[in-house]
Amino acid sequence: MKDEKQTKFVTEHEVEDSGKKVKPPFQLSEQNRRQFIRIEIVSPLFIQRIKSVEGEFWPEGQGQPVEASIVNLSLGGVLIDLDDPFSPGDIVALRFNLQGEVIVENVLGLVKRTDESEGKYLTGIEFVDRNRLEDILSEAELNILPLEFSGFDISVKKTLRKYVTEE
């Protein structure tokens, strides 16, 4: 995990031929194969398992949240660096702060990939909403999952969008 606990402030960065610019304090990272623009920030994040890929279910979250560090963030998901492995297919709840603008809590995510390197785990998580979980959780599990667990809130998307402009 990165030693930095503070959010990294960077200057405006323009990506060639994309027609998109990002305003400070964010920095833009874009790859043609991605559906969403990724914003590079360094900020702490707390992650907690809701359901393991093996089928174990914790409607309030499994134990204490594990601290991780955000590598980059998009409207579709987040890439994090952490010390403990999570498995692709795990459903998780996330809590983090975006550049001091907004604290995001109880965001549901689906672990898409985990790559181990030197005892650290680079983990890609897709944001999901309760509707998406209908294919993954049973009706009984959905009914006991607290309502505060939800997708990446529209207001948070609007907060991020104010930093991304079209030319």
Every domain of the chain and the residues it spans:
43-161
Confidence of residue 103 (pLDDT cuts 50, 70, 90): confident
Residues 6 or more apart from 164 whose CB is under 8 A from it?
Answer: 20, 21, 22, 23, 28, 37, 39
One of 3.40.50, 2.40.10, 3.40.5, 1.25.40 is the CATH number of 43-161, namely 2.40.10
**Selection from 29-33, 93-97, 148-152 with the highest mean pLDDT:** 93-97
**What average pLDDT score do residues 14-36 get?**
54
Share of the chain above pLDDT 70, in %: 65
